[in-house]
């Protein structure tokens, strides 16, 4: 009888130990997944490829300051970035829009709303081949090009010998396409002379090799990295000047320099957002805080994009200086 009681006690104790071990294992697995702090640990983030040059400039500086932190960016389309955020595959994304009402409702159903922070103002640059003498466009001309009403260079300049217009952008699911539809054409019907490639670097390479082409690309991709002042563009392509008026002239047409993005004279602008769905104070929160800090904003300034919290001065130089 005593043996049976001892056996029963031992069995119950073994069961209790097993339960505690199971709970501890479960806690450990959860902790392992989200063991990062604002300055330590390892995470993946999703980044709209349009903003790759910005994030590639931010991460090395952040990791050099916080050497126990590792951020791995996934450069993809904006559509995929939001998909991965909603699937909880990543908890921080860099994109060109805020959450939609439907996306807000989804997170609200989980009793949590991600933090959204505007970190910059970007310009969508219109680039053409470096040999092309025609570098001025009105917004109306650009709209007609994108919907397929203008399909030859002669309709822009009767003296042009370039023939058909070829228009390229990075990807059919990119934020650039959404920007074109929402802010320029105001219609989903785009011209048959438009072609989707795969990446922003493909747009650059295509325009470099194709004299009759126009490319749409984020300004950080064509900002000259050798110029620390961010006041010049790559010499391998020409950056077109865009006018809001009916006739494009030098006096009323502007390129996507930071000052013109900032004061609205350059018409093709959009915001850059970081969306953080981590309810904890983890590494994604730390990185977001860094990018929005003075140091992080100065890094953005050097990429040719307009940081959201830093003013840009316009300096006029006299001829001959």
313/296 Cα distance (integer angstroms): 19
**Residues ≥6 apart with Cβ < 8 Å to 27:** none
Pairing, β 253-254 against β 241-243: antiparallel
Q: With 80 as the cut, is the pLDDT of residue 39 above it?
A: yes
Instruction: Give the pLDDT of residue 34.
Output: 65
Q: Could you tell me the pTM of the whole model?
A: 0.83
Domains of the chain: 41-121+271-307 (3.40.190.10), 122-269 (3.40.190.10)
Model confidence pLDDT, tens digit, residues 230-253:
567 889 999 999 999 999 999 999
**Residues ≥6 apart with Cβ < 8 Å to 220:** 50, 51, 52, 53, 54, 122, 303, 304, 305
Mean pLDDT within 177-192: 88
3-state secondary structure of 76: strand
Model confidence pLDDT, tens digit, residues 76-128:
999 999 999 999 999 999 999 999 999 999 999 988 899 999 999 999 999 99
Q: With 80 as the cut, is the pLDDT of residue 319 above it?
A: no
Q: Angle 283-292/294-301 helices, nearest 10 degrees?
A: 60
**Could you tell me the pLDDT band of residue 287, with boundaries at 50, 70 and 90?**
very high
Model confidence pLDDT, tens digit, residues 127-163:
999 999 999 999 999 999 999 999 999 999 999 999 9
Mean pLDDT within 66-80: 96
Instruction: Give the pLDDT of residue 180.
Output: 92
Bridge partner list, 271: 121
Residue 308, phi then psi, degrees to nearest 5: -75, -20
Instruction: Give the pLDDT of residue 110.
Output: 87
Q: With 80 as the cut, is the pLDDT of residue 229 above it?
A: no
Instruction: Give the pLDDT of residue 310.
Output: 66
Q: With 80 as the cut, is the pLDDT of residue 23 above it?
A: no
Q: With 50 as the cut, is the pLDDT of residue 11 above it?
A: no
**Could you tell me the pLDDT band of residue 5, with boundaries at 50, 70 and 90?**
very low
Residue 118 tokens, joined:
């505007």
Q: With 90 as the cut, is the pLDDT of residue 19 above it?
A: no
Mean pLDDT of the chain: 85
Among 112-121, 181-190, 194-203, 257-266, the minimum mean pLDDT is found in 181-190
Instruction: Give the pLDDT of residue 320.
Output: 36
Instruction: Give the pLDDT of residue 231.
Output: 66
Instruction: Give the pLDDT of residue 311.
Output: 55
Q: With 80 as the cut, is the pLDDT of residue 316 above it?
A: no
CA dihedral sign of residues 285, 58, 91, 171: positive
Instruction: Give the pLDDT of residue 224.
Output: 79
**Residues ≥6 apart with Cβ < 8 Å to 132:** 162, 211, 238
Instruction: Give the pLDDT of residue 228.
Output: 63
Mean pLDDT within 44-59: 96
Instruction: Give the pLDDT of residue 315.
Output: 42
Instruction: Give the pLDDT of residue 37.
Output: 93
More confident residue, 69 or 2: 69
Residue 49, phi then psi, degrees to nearest 5: -55, -25
Residue 264 tokens, joined:
């609205």
Mean pLDDT within 217-225: 89
């Amino acid at each position: 009888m005593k043996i049976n009681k001892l056996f029963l006690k031992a069995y119950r104790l073994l069961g209790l130990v097993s339960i505690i071990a199971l709970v501890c294992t479960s806690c450990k697995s959860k902790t392992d997944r989200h063991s990062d702090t604002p300055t330590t640990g390892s995470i993946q983030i999703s980044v709209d490829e349009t903003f790759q040059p910005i994030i590639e400039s931010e991460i090395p500086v952040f990791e050099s300051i916080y050497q126990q932190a590792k951020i791995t960016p996934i450069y993809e389309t904006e559509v995929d970035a939001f998909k991965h955020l909603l699937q909880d595959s990543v908890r921080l994304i860099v994109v060109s829009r805020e959450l939609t009402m439907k996306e807000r409702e989804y997170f609200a159903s989980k009793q949590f709303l991600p933090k959204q922070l505007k970190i910059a103002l970007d310009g969508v640059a219109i680039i053409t081949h470096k040999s092309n003498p025609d570098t001025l466009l009105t917004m109306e001309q650009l709209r007609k090009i994108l919907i397929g009403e203008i399909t030859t260079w002669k309709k822009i300049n009767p003296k042009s010998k370039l023939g058909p217009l070829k228009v390229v952008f990075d990807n059919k699911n990119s934020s650039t396409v959404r920007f074109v539809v929402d802010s320029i054409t105001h219609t989903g019907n785009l011209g048959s002379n438009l072609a989707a490639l795969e990446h922003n670097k493909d747009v650059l390479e295509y325009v470099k090799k194709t004299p009759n082409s126009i490319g749409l690309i984020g300004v950080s991709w064509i900002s000259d990295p050798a110029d620390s002042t961010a006041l010049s563009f790559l010499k391998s392509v020409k950056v077109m000047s865009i006018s809001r008026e009916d006739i494009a002239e030098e006096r009323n047409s502007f390129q996507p320099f930071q000052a013109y993005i900032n004061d609205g004279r350059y018409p093709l602008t959009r915001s850059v957002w970081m969306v953080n769905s981590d309810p904890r104070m983890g590494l994604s929160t730390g990185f977001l805080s860094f990018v929005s800090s003075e140091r992080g904003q100065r890094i953005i300034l050097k990429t040719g994009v307009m940081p959201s919290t830093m003013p840009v001065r316009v300096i006029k130089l006299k001829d001959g200086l």
